[in-house]
Amino acid sequence: MTRLAIRCALLLSAAACVGCAERADTRGEPHETADAFVERVNREMAEQARELAAAAFTYATYINPDTEFLNAKANDRYLEYFTRAVEQAKAYEGEQLDPTAARALHLLKLGVAAPAPKDPQKRAQLSALSSKMEGMYGAAKYCPEGPESCKGQTELTQIMAESRNFEELLEAWTGWHSTARPMREDYAQFVALANEGARELGFADLGAMWRSNYDMPPDDFTKEAARLWDQVQPLYGALHCYVRDKLQDTYGENRVPNGKPIPAHLLGNMWAQQWAEIYPLVEPYKGVLDLDVTSALKRQKYDAVRITQSAESFYVSLGFPKLPQTFWERSLLTEPKDRDVQCHASAWHMDANEDVRIKQCIEPTQDELMTVYHELGHVYYYLMYKDQPYLFQGGAHDGFHEAIGDTVNLSMTPSYLHQIGLIGPVKQSYEATINQQMKIALDKIAFLPFGKLIDEWRWKVFSGEVTPESYNTAWWQLREQYQGVSAPVARSEEDFDPGAKYHIPANTPYTRYFLSYILQFQFHRALCEAAGHQGPLHECSVYGNEAAGQRFREMLAAGQSEPWQDTLEKLTGTRTMDASAITDYFAPLMTWLEEQNQGRQCGW
Ligand code: X8Z
Ligand code: ZN
């Protein structure tokens, strides 16, 4: 969980902190200068956040009716505090403020992902709905033949990744998606309440509020995101075309027709968002390069702690500190069998200081390994900006937060994996390069349209363009348009397929990931330059390079204290997000795909 998410979750509440309430009631006191107000809010909010984090972490790692209730209460208290603080901040509107105070007040207003209406009853309802939906997702199970047959997300994810049986995949897909049906009503109510909260804060709707968090006018941000998508769309189109053709070899042309979207259950992932699990079906040059990290992890009996230590070692090799002892004592690294937990991986900043944790149901697979490195990216961001005031404890923007660990993932080259004993020796060749690029593209390129469309759907829902009567239709329309994937069986408005994706019930904004998938290549390029890397970008690993680590740490330490454009410029020399780093990175693969796709009917 990034701070925004934490703060959102956090900002879903109001506290037993009597002192805070009293001080809060001094709103309008002529003696409190803007600086004093900001200083007070930074202090109080960190206290409120501590309480919410405790409730939210306990809930996520121990889902039951009592923790659901306590989490909702904590959310409610946090939201109460937030609403009051924003109200008080209005006293300083129109004043000539120094830039630090002005930025803090600006960020304060954007500090939650779901603001509540001022009406306490509505606020409590919003908190209860958020807490309920989060728990429904975490505890969801598909039970085809009674309680003994139940499968949760972990088992179903594994089927999606490993099975090549069309019917079995279909059942896992349909089963998981059926668990989201009961969320539909709650989600519609949640949207109405959070929108009301956003409007009371002066935003057109909740989507406009989310888009205001990028140090530029919200409409400019919409255009920026569209521009970036246009830059990468040809790469995605080429990958889609090639993969569809290969899937025809496995499942037949009648099941994967030419010129049509790919059925969403055949891509190795429940949401068809990352496709690396089907690498064996699409491997360009068979047997040229052993990339089977999963087998090595199993063979070498890697457990969750060792996987996490491996990730920690990478950061330490860049000059980052070792993780605090409490990280090891308080994180949840494996799925407990005796209770429901939220298995979607997340990172937590509990106390605005050094109590950092992750929560992940780690399995010995390459995917989980990469995700641990991803989560530690959040954790090290928290540790690096812990001395910033609370309101500046965040990513330069939320895409930065998501991009740290993924930037490290890009340094997990075959040479690095060999160095840590997870694959055999690497012999460089053109064929090996294409294989390696294919494997990475199945995650990094395949993800882009998915990363873009989730919030496009929500923006339409929040603006009212999509109403509850057409939630599912609009969802599949976007999935077809952007991803070129289709629902494998007929859907109706009885279904609520968006709810089968964690970030919808958890109300975590998603454009952050789309931005991260562009930015991480810009970061990687800059760090490789700092490390003095010569040669193609895809061969660079900054593992063990302190000079790169130093540059990285400087960026992280700034947190959200300045506009992200300034932070980006210090690391990369440019003030704009730009897809040229990702297209350059994949240039060899793109040329290869274009050759392969000649004569194919691409598109859908
Ligand atoms: O949610 C995540 C992380 C936690 S911040 C595991 N990711 C997105 C997803 O799983 O949908 C990382 C990639 C995209
Ligand atoms: Zn993340």
Tell which atom from ligand 1 comes closest to the C-alpha of 360: 6
Locate all alpha helices (DSSP H) within 11-33, ordered by sequence.
18-24
Distance CA 576, CA 225 (A): 11
SS (H, E, C) 96-143: CCCHHHHHHHHHHHCCCCCCCCCCHHHHHHHHHHHHHHHHHHHHCCEC
Distance CA 466, CA 424 (A): 51
Which of 8, 344, 376 maximizes ligand 1 atoms within 8 Å of its Cβ, making it the mutation to test the pocket?
Answer: 344
Q: Say what the pLDDT of residue 290 is.
A: 80
* H/E element, 40: helix 34-60
346 Cβ below 6 A of ligand 1: yes
Tell which atom from ligand 1 comes closest to the C-alpha of 402: 5
**Residue pLDDT, tens place only, 247-287:** 999 999 999 999 999 999 999 999 999 999 999 999 999 98
Which of 365, 402, 503 maximizes ligand 1 atoms within 8 Å of its Cβ, making it the mutation to test the pocket?
Answer: 402
Looking at all shown ligands, the one closest to residue 513's CA atom is 1
According to DSSP, the β-strands at 356-359 and 346-349 are antiparallel
565 class by beta-carbon count within 10 Å (0-12 exposed, 13-18 middle, 19+ buried)? middle
495: three-class secondary structure by DSSP: coil
Q: Quote the ligand 1 centre to 501 CA distance (angstroms).
A: 10
274 Cβ below 6 A of ligand 1: no
Looking at all shown ligands, the one closest to residue 271's CA atom is 1
Residues 6 or more apart from 290 whose CB is under 8 A from it?
Answer: 423, 424
Distance CA 1, CA 3 (A): 7
Which residue's CA lies nearest to atom 13 of ligand 1? 513
Q: Quote the ligand 2 centre to 357 CA distance (angstroms).
A: 13
Q: Report which of 440, 422, 404 is spatially closest to residue 536, judged by C-alpha positions.
A: 440
Distance CA 101, CA 227 (A): 32
Mean pLDDT by 10 residues, the chain (604 residues): 40 31 43 94 98 98 98 98 97 94 98 98 98 98 94 95 98 98 98 98 98 98 98 98 98 97 98 97 92 94 98 98 98 97 97 98 96 98 98 98 98 96 93 96 98 98 98 98 98 98 98 98 98 96 98 98 98 98 98 97 97
371 Cβ below 6 A of ligand 1: yes
Residues 6 or more apart from 209 whose CB is under 8 A from it?
Answer: 110, 115, 198, 201, 203
Q: Quote the ligand 1 centre to 566 CA distance (angstroms).
A: 26
Which of 513, 514, 516 maximizes ligand 1 atoms within 8 Å of its Cβ, making it the mutation to test the pocket?
Answer: 513
Q: Using the 8-state DSSP alphabet, how is residue 324 labeled? A: P
Q: Say what the pLDDT of residue 289 is.
A: 84
513 Cβ below 6 A of ligand 1: yes
Q: Quote the ligand 2 centre to 576 CA distance (angstroms).
A: 22
Q: Quote the ligand 1 centre to 407 CA distance (angstroms).
A: 14
457 Cβ below 6 A of ligand 1: no
Q: Report which of 413, 481, 483 is spatially closest to residue 446, judged by C-alpha positions.
A: 483
Q: Report which of 298, 295, 321, 417 is spatially closest to residue 376, judged by C-alpha positions.
A: 321
Q: Say what the pLDDT of residue 500 is.
A: 98
157 Cβ below 6 A of ligand 1: no
Angle ∠(191,375,225) on CA atoms, nearest 5: 50
Tell which atom from ligand 1 comes closest to the C-alpha of 508: 1
Q: Report which of 307, 306, 379 is spatially closest to residue 346, judged by C-alpha positions.
A: 379
Q: Say what the pLDDT of residue 29 is.
A: 52
Q: Say what the pLDDT of residue 248 is.
A: 98
Which of 8, 271, 274, 374 maximizes ligand 1 atoms within 8 Å of its Cβ, making it the mutation to test the pocket?
Answer: 374
Give the global pTM.
0.95
How big is the chain by its Cα radius of gyration, in Å? 23
Distance CA 196, CA 211 (A): 17
Q: Quote the ligand 1 centre to 272 CA distance (angstroms).
A: 13
